[in-house]
Amino acid sequence: MPLNAIEGTGTTPGVPAEVPEPQAVLGTLTTSATFLVVSVRDTAGADARVLDVAADIGSLVRAVGFRQSEAGLTCIVGFGSRYWDRVRPGGPRPAHLHPFRAIQGARHDAVATPGDVFFHVRANRQDLVFELTRLLMDALGDDVQVEDHTVGFRYFDSRDLLGFVDGTENPTGRDAAAAAIVGPDDEPDFAGGSYVVVQKYVHDLAAWHALPVEEQERVIGRTKLDDVELDDDVQPSNSHVSLNTIVDEDGVEHDVLRDNMAFGDPSTGEYGTFFIAYADDPSVTELMLERMFVGAPPGNYDRILDVSTAITGSLFFVPSLPLLESLIDGDDPTVTSADLARIAGQGPARADTEDATAGAGPAGGARGTSAPDGGPSSSAPSAPGSTPGSRPTTDDLRIGSLREEPQ
């Protein structure tokens, strides 16, 4: 298994082979996460530096995750509408990328808050999440302003702080890929990407705990202890389950891929849920939110909002891995196995001068490979007995300047 699904292996379960490698959107749920939303300052060089960090996030993940690969450390990067236009003016843009649409209901509102870049760091060890976030913030430096930083954790058996299991109906396997990953027929330029909506909800736990368990179950639409959905004949039309079930006119149910996390600070009394939903089309998530806040029909809103207040709201596009890596300024082509085979078969290009063999080797010296005994490689002409055009020996093969293909 790769240390970081952001690098991938060339295939992602559930994703067709012709689709570019997605980021770690389809990764398994973890016990720890950090959600980081930043705005990029309008200062000289800030955009280039932030894009370099975002595009090369895999390097930071490897630096931390290699030491505990079984913890599944990943980082997903997304970009907001305003920032996409800022760094890709006049170029193609994701069809459904737009600023988060605030929703005003009769009693409760879904607010829109700023954010240019979103980082979703997750692992099964909080120390790895912390270390990657620390290195990430060091790399971003003063080029960004933090809009929100939330540290999430798995609460018991994947319950939220309201005491109910969260994410029971999450799609898995091919269904997860179909729900969360943009397909080539939908947006060819952005296949392998995803749209993510994030919101931070703060709970009034005192008001919630004042409700009898039976009433809490009617609010959520599931039993509290064993997490069973209420029967249709007793399921309230304004329960959380009812309003978040999207079925079209053909009877097809449309899903999103959630990775919600609980968060809280006992010293301040702030407790809540960080809502995060990946989708191939954000209109599915937006319809869920409209039904929650406005109601279906209007006024029949989600009663969970009586104890849960949305204090943030943002929409980001998560590009595929190849598209994310292409954001780096300048050419840095990856050398493939085919390139290495070609080089091995043809031999290195010969420089006309001795100085041409100097370059950015590991110690800043010649690019030649090490000799079998570990000593420095020879920059002398071909070994005795060799003829022009013959297959080079190991000592003659100089590929030190090439970037190794990730394993």
Q: Which two tokens stand for residue 251?
A: 């009877």
Q: Which two tokens stand for residue 390?
A: 């013959």
C-alpha dist (Å) from residue 17 to 2, 13, 21, 379:
18, 10, 9, 44
DSSP 382: S
DSSP 94: -
Q: Which amino acid is at 228?
A: V
Q: Which two tokens stand for residue 304?
A: 């969970």
Q: Which residues are 153's β-sheet partners?
A: 32, 262
Q: Which residue has the tokens 């997860």?
A: 176
Indicate if the alpha-carbon torsion angle 100, 101, 107, 113 is positive or negative: positive
Closest Cα partner for 70 from 2, 136, 161? 2
How many Å apart are CA 169 and CA 175, to the nearest integer? Answer: 11
Which candidate in 166, 255, 280, 302 is catalytic?
166
How many Å apart are CA 11 and CA 331, to the nearest integer? Answer: 25
DSSP 14: T
Closest Cα partner for 320 from 139, 94, 106, 157? 94
Measured N-to-C along each axis, helices 57-65 and 46-55 cross at an angle, to the nearest 10 degrees, of 50
Q: How far is CA 78 from the centre of its chain?
A: 7
Q: Which two tokens stand for residue 342?
A: 């070609």
Length of the chain equals: 407
Q: Which two tokens stand for residue 276?
A: 């995060």
Q: Which residue has the tokens 């190991």?
A: 394
In this structure, how many other beta carbons lie within 10 angstroms of the beta carbon of residue 59? Answer: 13
Q: Which residues are 202's β-sheet partners?
A: 272, 309
Active site residue 166: yes
How many Å apart are CA 47 and CA 53, to the nearest integer? Answer: 10
Catalytically active residues, by annotation: 166
